[in-house]
């Protein structure tokens, strides 16, 4: 029997937003999100660290969850500028993104570093949203499935379970490019990721799998119809309440 998984639409605001914009966006999502009335749908927003507190307060009392965009592998210590998973949990976060391709590229994060971060998230009681995805050169040379299987195997900690882990497939070439992967490409990648999850995680059939990369209101519906796509990790379109909510509204009810 196919697993019935809750859907998740997550907004990754990246390094965008000052307090006024962030507050107004969070308030709109908290107010309008619950009116979508799609059963078994979770909404998550991941603001920059500077806005986490403000956003947690803005969505308080609503079902909207808040997450960080990264965490350090250690719980505390001499790591100037970093933020730990317990710090995010302390602010009211329930999720944290780890291993986003922008962090892998900008900060040289390796699979083993991502795995340590995900383990730290789990230890702090957070759900880790583990990101993987191939570059254009890797796709063009036919390495996509090997690359994502390797990234996933390397980035999943022992502590991963269906309750504390979400996997986001984000082809690097589709991020911020306006060029999203085709439904065939997404279907093939998600099926391969599901196979790895079934091998490596107890209850791997229940781990939620998101697609990310130029998800917009006009392509969300077709992406959500792909088997093993349980939602989206949305960048640019998550900065406009109308677009983010339109993407959420495209989730099949
Ligand atoms: P875009 O939706 O802007 O392509 O970003 C996707 C992404 O990186 C989400 O984490």
Q: Which sign, positive or negative, has the C-alpha torsion 246, 102, 100, 210?
A: positive
Cβ of 223 less than 6 Å from ligand 1? no
This prediction's pTM = 0.97
Cβ of 233 less than 6 Å from ligand 1? yes
Any domain includes 2: no
The catalytically annotated residue of 100, 122, 134, 190 is 100
Any domain includes 114: yes
Cα 181 from Cα 214, distance rounded (Å): 8
Give the domain range for residue 72: 7-249
- Ligand 1: which of 98, 212, 248 to mutate, most ligand atoms within 8 Å of CB? 212
In the chain, the number of structural domains is 1
Any domain includes 160: yes
The pLDDT value recorded for residue 2 is 56
Does residue 102 carry a catalytic annotation? Answer: no
CATH code of the domain containing 174 = 3.20.20.70
The pLDDT value recorded for residue 1 is 44
Over residues 69-97, the pLDDT tens digits come to 999 999 999 999 999 999 999 999 999 99
- Closest atom of ligand 1 to 101 CA is 8
pLDDT along the chain (253 residues), means of 10: 84 98 98 94 98 98 98 98 98 98 97 98 98 96 97 97 97 91 96 96 95 97 97 98 98 91
């Amino acid at each position: 029997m196919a697993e019935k998984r809750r859907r998740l639409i997550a907004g990754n605001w990246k390094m965008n937003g000052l307090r006024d914009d962030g507050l107004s966006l969070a308030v709109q999502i908290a107010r309008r999100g619950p009116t979508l009335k799609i059963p078994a749908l979770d909404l998550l927003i991941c603001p920059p660290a500077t806005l986490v507190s403000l956003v947690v307060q803005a969505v308080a009392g609503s079902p909207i969850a808040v997450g960080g965009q990264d965490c350090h592998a250690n719980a505390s210590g001499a790591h100037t500028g970093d933020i730990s998973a317990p710090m995010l949990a302390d602010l009211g976060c329930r999720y944290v993104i780890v291993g986003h391709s922008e962090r892998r590229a900008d900060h040289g994060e390796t699979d083993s570093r991502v795995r340590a971060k995900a383990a730290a998230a789990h230890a702090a009681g957070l759900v880790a949203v583990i990101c993987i995805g191939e570059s254009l050169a890797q796709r063009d040379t036919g390495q996509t499935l090997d690359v994502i299987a390797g990234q996933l195997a390397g980035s999943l900690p022992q502590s991963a379970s269906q309750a504390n882990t979400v996997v986001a497939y984000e082809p690097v070439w589709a991020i911020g490019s306006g060029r999203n992967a085709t439904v065939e490409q997404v279907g093939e990648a998600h099926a391969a990721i599901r196979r790895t999850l079934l091998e490596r995680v107890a209850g791997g059939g229940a781990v939620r799998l998101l697609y990310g990369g130029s998800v917009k209101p006009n392509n969300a519906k077709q992406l959500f119809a792909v088997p093993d796509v349980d939602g989206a990790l949305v960048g640019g379109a998550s900065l406009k309440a109308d677009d983010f909510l339109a993407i959420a509204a495209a989730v099949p009810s």
